C-alpha cells in the first residue's frame, strides 16, 4: 500500500478528502498526532497520544466497487481483528465496524465517500487504533476504551502494526471486490459480539430495538422487534 505520512494534522479523513484527486487507489494517509479527529455519530475521536495510529485508507472506484461499497468497512474490520489476533488477543466486532476487547473499544472506523458531481471519486476509510495508552487517559473518553499495550502488558511498535494491517488489507482486497461480503462472512460472524442479544440501533434519526438474529449474505443486520417484525439494516450503529 502506498503511504503518506503527516507529522501532525487535524484529521486524516479531512486531509484525504481535500487531497483526494492527488491520491492514488490503496494509499494510506497516517499520522501519530491527530489534533481534531472525527468519529461516527458526530462524535470526536480523541487524541490519546503519539504512540497510536490515526489513519485513512483511500480507495478509488473500480469495476464492482459500488456493489460492495457498504461492506468495505466490514472488510477492514475483519482485517483489523486478524491483526489484533497476531498479538494474542481475542477482539470482538460490534456491528458494523467497531472492534472491542472485553467490551471496551480499541478501534473504530469512519467511512466517508467523496463525490465528483454524480460520480464517486473515492472512499476514505478512517481508522483509529489504540495501541499505547494508559488507563488514566482512556478513562477520559466518553465510552469504555482500552488499548493493545494494556491488554498484553507490552509496548506496541506502531510502525510494525501499521505494516501488518496494510499488508493484510491488500492481500485479499481484489478478491473481496470480486466476491463481496461472502468472502469474509464467516470470519465476521465468528467474531460478532451482538448476535442473539437485544440491541438498540441508531439508523439516521431513528432507533430500532430488538434481538439481533442474523448477519445476511450481504452484511446486513437482521433484527426482530418485540412485535415480531423483521428489520434488515444495511447502515446504522449499535448503541
Pick the piece of the chain touching ligand BTN (CB under 6 A) from 83-91, 105-113, 193-201, 218-226.
105-113
How many whole angstroms separate alpha carbon 96 and alpha carbon 39? Answer: 14
Q: Is there binding between residue 96 and ligand BTN (CB under 6 A)? A: no
Give the one residue of 4, 11, 68, 93 binding ligand BTN; rule: CB under 6 A.
11
Q: 161: cis peptide before it, omega within 30°?
A: no
Comparison of 59 and 183: residue with beta carbon closer to ligand BTN: 59
* 123 Cβ contact partners less than 8 Å away, ≥ 6 residues apart: 58, 59, 60, 61, 65, 69, 72, 111, 112, 113, 114
Instruction: Tell whether residue 109 is a contact of ligand BTN (CB under 6 A).
Output: yes
Q: Specify the stretch interacting with ligand BTN by CB under 6 A; choose among 32-40, 60-68, 74-82, 174-182.
A: 32-40
Cα 88–Cα 92–Cα 98 angle in degrees, nearest 5: 120
**Grid cell at residue 186:** 464467516
Does residue 49 bind ligand BTN (CB under 6 A)? no
Q: Is residue 138 classed exposed, middle or buried when 0-12, 13-18 and 19+ CB atoms within 10 A define those classes?
A: buried
**Least separation in angstroms between CB 30 and ligand BTN:** 8
Q: Which residue is nearest to ligand BTN (CB)?
A: 108
**Among residues 43, 104, 202, 211, which is the contact residue for ligand BTN, using CB under 6 A?**
43
**Residue closer to ligand BTN (CB basis): 40 or 163:** 40
**Alpha-carbon separation of residue 98 from 23, 32, 151, 193 (angstroms):** 26, 20, 17, 10
Q: Nearest Cα to 189, choosing from 211, 214, 212?
A: 214
Applying CB under 6 A, the site for ligand BTN has a residue count of 20
* Closer by beta carbon to ligand BTN, 42 or else 228: 42
Give the ranges where 143-192 is alpha helix by DSSP (H): 148-152, 158-179, 185-189
Distance CA 158, CA 52 (A): 7
Nearest to ligand BTN of 18, 174 (CB atom): 18
**Does 40 sit near ligand BTN (CB under 6 A)?**
yes
| List of residues contacting ligand BTN (CB under 6 A) | 11-13, 34, 37-40, 43, 45, 54-56, 98, 108-110, 126-128
Amino acid at each position: 500500500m502506498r503511504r503518506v505520512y503527516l507529522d501532525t494534522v487535524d484529521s486524516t479523513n479531512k486531509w484525504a478528502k481535500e487531497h483526494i484527486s492527488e491520491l492514488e487507489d490503496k494509499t494510506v494517509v497516517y499520522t501519530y498526532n491527530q489534533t481534531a479527529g472525527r468519529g461516527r455519530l458526530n462524535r470526536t475521536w480523541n487524541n490519546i497520544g503519539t504512540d497510536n495510529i490515526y489513519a485513512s485508507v483511500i480507495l478509488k472506484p473500480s469495476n464492482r466497487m459500488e456493489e460492495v461499497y457498504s461492506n468495505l468497512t466490514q472488510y477492514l474490520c475483519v482485517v483489523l481483528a486478524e491483526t489484533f489476533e497476531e498479538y494474542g488477543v481475542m477482539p470482538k466486532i460490534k456491528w458494523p465496524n467497531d472492534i472491542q476487547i472485553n467490551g471496551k473499544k480499541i478501534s473504530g472506523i469512519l467511512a466517508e465517500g467523496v463525490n465528483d458531481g454524480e460520480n464517486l471519486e473515492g472512499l476514505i476509510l478512517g481508522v483509529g487504533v489504540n495501541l499505547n495508552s494508559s488507563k488514566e487517559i482512556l478513562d477520559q473518553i466518553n465510552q469504555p476504551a482500552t488499548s493493545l499495550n494494556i491488554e498484553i502488558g507490552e509496548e506496541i511498535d506502531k510502525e510494525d502494526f501499521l505494516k501488518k494491517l496494510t499488508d493484510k488489507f491488500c492481500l485479499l482486497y481484489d478478491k473481496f471486490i470480486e466476491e463481496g461480503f461472502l468472502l469474509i462472512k464467516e470470519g465476521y460472524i465468528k467474531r460478532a459480539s451482538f448476535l442473539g442479544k437485544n440491541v438498540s440501533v441508531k439508523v439516521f434519526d431513528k432507533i430500532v430495538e430488538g434481538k439481533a438474529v442474523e448477519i445476511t449474505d450481504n452484511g446486513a443486520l437482521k433484527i426482530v422487534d418485540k412485535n415480531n417484525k423483521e428489520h434488515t439494516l444495511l447502515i446504522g450503529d449499535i448503541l
